Structure 1
């Protein structure tokens, strides 16, 4: 079995997010294969088929270690060069998925997940980061692609991978301790960047009695900016990582517009943040990030006093994601301030009806 690793991703276009991933693999000194550039992306099955055909058509040895990663919200650390040795040292399964703290997209699967070792909160599968032997990945992808017509799996790759994991516990497991990967959704603390450019994540160390595992957990090989809050954490991490690159006299990567917008907003540069978020709405191809870019453009414009323009942004956000609570609340605030009291109260009442514990909605309702 190989002691090196090849990273493979699927992307239809080379945008700033992909360039960040490419730069991080260059710094780590690991090869990256980008599949599907310039080709139409028609959903998650496109990604799975690209992976599957690459494994079948290339001369990659059956025992090669291959990491499959999402294209637009992943960074690898210099420690990624160690992933093959960590994979073989700490795991007895031929496939390891990243773990995450929430079960998505189907909460009904929770009873099928066994309690995690040591009470880890990385207890559910994340399909944005996984590593395995080429033979096992090829078998898994062939199996998962066969789920396509089954209603319980549908077109979503994470749902399909949940099924494979639960039906094949001898072939696949999760990185419960975060010794390979960290996911940023519901992350209870913040990353820092070491002088070497590694991501430092001192989390759950006391639960691990094995010093090598503790050290590996503190320096994960890659991170995934999954989930709404994870995208903001990823933007901050990317800004810090760029600073670390500059200090080491590496050429920094051009940060994606969304990350730039978050950084400028937190620095108090609202005009700069507005320009960055506007560019992000025009350039990103990742659906969740397009939603958050449009929403944040509205937030900035609202704070700049451009109520009509902000309202338009919130309307476009809700057209993309009708359940976006932040956009609903901010839109209600603007409508109420401009005399549309009935419409504003109706929006807030709807939020409270669906979620009686929403403190922001309850507070706004009391103020109206």
Structure 2
């Protein structure tokens, strides 16, 4: 199965199949009956997510007097579902524009190396397995401790017996798992698109450096240079379209990480005051687990966004490294225009507020530490 997707000409096929399985990508070639059945399936998963948010919201309200730590723990776990649900909403709203972008890429004639295809697939599988493993581990621990994974309303008393508790955990798992897999499928297509654009920019850099001018090959060299310029313009269009489609997606991602850091800062402050030893580790473990997942996903987006900036700026350096001194004046002017344009890097912005890069990730970590330090000083 793995080698099947690696060998396919459609290098997004694994990601698109993942999106289809989680109810986010209907096939254009389906019949009307197939499409309508799929829409029912899509709406059903939407309703599952809404139901999870409703019953956990009721559960949090019912147990609001259980203590600040319990309240923060439930909010932290519910935040994951809200984060995923909002992402799915924006993705669905821009799905047609994303489909047009992907179809344009697939019909462009561009290729992606086999190693890159493997990396695209491995990244999605790795993140999915890790996220499901962490969530599954906390669910199993909750079962062993005879506790609910997250407080939620049930039509029966989940703490009446071990069987009731297991049934409640299964219901929550069935409701949350599709929502989580949707978020991971969306992350996969975002990462694959970014890696594709970066690969094409690297290819353009190499093609620019390979340009050599002589009177004998002037015509072929001009054709190659114009093809490079046309492809660079096309990559600019792809990057802008991708940014327009996912700008709200990245904004939600950054806001979720910020809120997660704030909740962890508050929880660490409270626990350091009121709890010690084993009890402290037990309370902080879920917070640390979800925080690490949030930071891992944020780092992936920021790293790829940073790579996109670097590779787009490197086009200008590659153009300058050519043997342009021997070129005709008109080609030198065209090359200068290319350099000027390439000095403005491609960016993935989060709602137009900030761009996805390593600096943004570092700033998020710094802000989280600053919040923790301020809260700790205020309490002391």
TM-score by length of 1: 0.24
Which structure has the greater CA radius of gyration?
Answer: 2
Structure with the larger strand share: 1
Structure with the larger helix share: 2
